[in-house]
Amino acid sequence: MKPLHELVDILSSPKKIIITHHNNPDADALGSSLGLYHYLTQKGHSCQVVSPNTIPDFILWMPASENVLIYEKSRVEVDILLQNTDLVFSLDYNHNSRTHSMEATLDAFQGVKVLIDHHLQPDTRFHYGNSNAGKSSTCEMVYDFILENKDEDLITLDISQCLYAGLMTDTGSFKFPCTTESVHAMAAGLMLRGLEPASIHTKIFDTFEEGRLRFLGFVLSEKMKINTDLHAAIIPVSMEELNRFQLKTGDTEGIVNYPLSIKEVIFSTFISERENEIRMSFRSKGSFDVNQFARTYFNGGGHANAAGGRSKMSLQQTIEIYNKAISENEIKLKQCYEELV
């Protein structure tokens, strides 16, 4: 994969570009895609953002989100568009399987494939791109790309709002270890161009339905199980429970982080029963590597402190595999805990 800045020749004339991101987009996936979309459009390219599936409400406010095509609803249109596309930018994921329904179509794309991403172990089939697990977010990498091109004057308020959203959420509101100097420098850079951070925090965190907060209360009080000995917590929820609180896509986002605020807990897991699979989110504090855990046991991956996975078994069977998995990691979990206290 050649570095992103070597795209400069290709991008020196107007191109037809598709920008896409992972299934179940979060603020970093959509924010980086729309930030890049606004930037490349200003540079004279013809761009289309395609999301594999529906965009959750908490990020629908992003400028131009109404122009995003949803692959699951517009398959034929996107497949035709791809035949006439010069470049595909893949953002906030590093293997086409992370786009679920779009995987085959993206694998078959004959044009230039570009990656901008901060997950570990990228697929080697991209032609150009930057893959840097040391970066907080894909939004930060898009910002770096714009600065590298000496285009800071093209950073509009629309771009700032999109990029700040992913920067803020992927750093856990500037508290995770990935919150580097460059993260704060970027936030300051966006503010100098007129961004008001408080309004983005409000749009993302203070716009939920009542059911979401009641669900949070319910799971923390009734569902969270803590294994103090192994420093691990798990929150399993069934489809019936998700339906009872009328949760929408994205409403369970972030719940996995709560158990980590308990002193003894260094590893947290959220398991939810969905239509076709069991979905899992993993978070850790300190050096317990959840990317490795997700890869080893649950067909997933991500970062060292935040990863996801899935299982095709029942909720109960998945919990049993999890219990076995944490037992196998007993020594590691205890060591990682000792490092923190």
> Residues in the site for ligand 5GP, rule: CB under 6 A?
22, 98, 119, 281, 300-303, 306-309
With CB under 5 A, what is the number of residues at the site for Mn ion?
5
Is 117 a binding residue for Mn ion by CB under 5 A? The answer is: no
Give the shortest CB-254-to-ligand 5GP separation in angstroms: 8
Selection from Mn ion, ligand 5GP, none that 22 binds (CB < 5 to 8 A by kind) is ligand 5GP
Give the shortest CB-118-to-Mn ion separation in angstroms: 6
Tokens representing residue 287 in the block: 């050096």
Selection from ligand 5GP, Mn ion, none that 300 binds (CB < 5 to 8 A by kind) is ligand 5GP
- What is the spatial distance between Cα 215 and Cα 224, in angstroms, rounded to a whole number? 12
What phi and psi values does residue 335 have, to the nearest 5 degrees?
-60, -50
Residues 146-175 close enough to bind Mn ion by CB under 5 A: 170
Q: Which is nearer to Mn ion, 143 or 245 (CB)?
A: 143
Give the shortest CB-302-to-ligand 5GP separation in angstroms: 2
Q: Which is nearer to Mn ion, 172 or 259 (CB)?
A: 172
Closest by Cα among 67, 25, 35 to 48: 67
Instruction: Indicate if the alpha-carbon torsion angle 81, 97, 65, 274 is positive or negative.
Output: positive
Give the shortest CB-124-to-Mn ion separation in angstroms: 20
Give the shortest CB-309-to-ligand 5GP separation in angstroms: 6
> Burial of 52 by CB count in 10 Å (0-12 exposed, 13-18 middle, 19+ buried)?
buried
Give the shortest CB-170-to-ligand 5GP separation in angstroms: 7
Residues 227-266 close enough to bind Mn ion by CB under 5 A: none
- What is the spatial distance between Cα 156 and Cα 154, in angstroms, rounded to a whole number? 6
- Pair 288, 267: CB distance under 8 Å: yes
- Pair 22, 92: CB distance under 8 Å: yes
Give the shortest CB-200-to-Mn ion separation in angstroms: 16
Is 28 a binding residue for Mn ion by CB under 5 A? The answer is: yes
- Pair 290, 264: CB distance under 8 Å: no
Q: Which is nearer to Mn ion, 65 or 136 (CB)?
A: 136
The radius of gyration of the chain's CA atoms, rounded to the nearest angstrom, is 20
What phi and psi values does residue 145 have, to the nearest 5 degrees?
-60, -45
Q: Which is nearer to ligand 5GP, 29 or 319 (CB)?
A: 29
Q: Which is nearer to Mn ion, 38 or 98 (CB)?
A: 98
Residue nearest Mn ion, Cβ-based: 28
**Residues of 81-114 as b/e, b for ≥16 C-beta within 10 angstroms?**
ebeebbbbbbbbbbbbebbeebeebbeebebbbb
Give the shortest CB-75-to-ligand 5GP separation in angstroms: 22
- Pair 52, 123: CB distance under 8 Å: no
SS3 79: helix
Residues 121-140 close enough to bind Mn ion by CB under 5 A: 137-138
Selection from Mn ion, ligand 5GP, none that 306 binds (CB < 5 to 8 A by kind) is ligand 5GP
Q: Which is nearer to Mn ion, 85 or 137 (CB)?
A: 137
Is 92 a binding residue for Mn ion by CB under 5 A? The answer is: yes
Question: Contact residues for Mn ion (CB under 5 A)?
Answer: 28, 92, 137-138, 170
